[in-house]
Amino acid sequence: MNRQDEAQRGKDEPLARKAQELLRDSAEHLDAATRSRLTRARHEALAEMGQGRRARVFSQWAPVGMVAATAVLAALLWIGEPVPPGPGPDVATVIADRDLAPDVATDLDLLLAEESLEMIEDLEFFTWLDANMSTEELQAELGAIG
């Protein structure tokens, strides 16, 4: 350090010392409302401390949980739904057993049968047929077709 620096420091020091005294004094003599707001701010910040810890624990274990959940889902999709050992009772039987109207059971059975899909495609035609022709006329028509 040369003489010029020392002289500069000698000049600076009284100002720095007085500024420090004043600044620290002003910091120590804050009004009550400001002191209270600072205390509140500190408590709010400290409340984050616990939350932050919990969030960090969660963020540490979250990837593990996600991997486990994905593995379980993949296993379920891989295995698929178990196939029942034999053919179960058809819907009509079940509903008839429960004393429901046989017509409802038959309709449901028809709807659930594979063939009914074709019928659904021509539903408008069958509705028209039902409205405009009696059973006898229909039978006669079918007999004529062969």
Binding site for another protein (CB under 8 A): 8, 11-12, 14-16, 18-20, 22-35, 37-39, 41-42, 44-46, 48-50, 52-53
Smallest distance from the beta carbon of 1 to another protein, in angstroms? 11
CA-wise closest residue to 119 among 128, 131, 111: 111
CB atoms within 10 A of CB 95: 18
Helix runs in 80-122, H state only: 91-97, 102-112, 116-121
Smallest distance from the beta carbon of 94 to another protein, in angstroms? 53
Residue 36 CA to residue 43 CA, distance in Å, equals 11
Nearer to another protein, 14 or 88 (CB): 14
Residue 50: alpha-carbon gap to chain centroid:
27
Smallest distance from the beta carbon of 112 to another protein, in angstroms? 58
